[in-house]
């Protein structure tokens, strides 16, 4: 079994919520291209973004944290 990356997990959650990249990036106060790189796995994300990500993507914070650590 191939585990999905943190970026894939975030992208899937964003798409499941019908949220455009720019809206999530704006909520996090980061550049759209930065969020895109995080989703592709080209750039790590800061732990500081886990709580706001869980809020806008309507995800359980503990789950987001465990995916981030994995």
Predicted confidence (pLDDT) per residue in 3-13, tens digit: 899 999 999 99
Residue with tokens 């706001």: 52
The answer to whether 14 and 57 have CB atoms below 8 angstroms apart is yes
pLDDT tens digits for range 19-65: 999 999 999 999 999 999 999 999 999 999 999 999 999 999 999 99
Length of the chain, please? 70
Closest CA to 59 of 19, 26, 29: 19
pTM greater than 0.85 = yes
């Amino acid at each position: 079994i191939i585990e999905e990356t943190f970026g894939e997990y975030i992208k899937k959650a964003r798409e499941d919520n019908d949220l455009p990249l720019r809206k999530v990036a704006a909520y996090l106060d980061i550049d759209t291209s930065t969020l895109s790189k995080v989703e592709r796995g080209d750039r790590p994300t800061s732990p500081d973004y886990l709580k706001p990500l869980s809020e806008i993507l309507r995800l359980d914070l503990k789950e987001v944290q465990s995916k981030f650590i994995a």
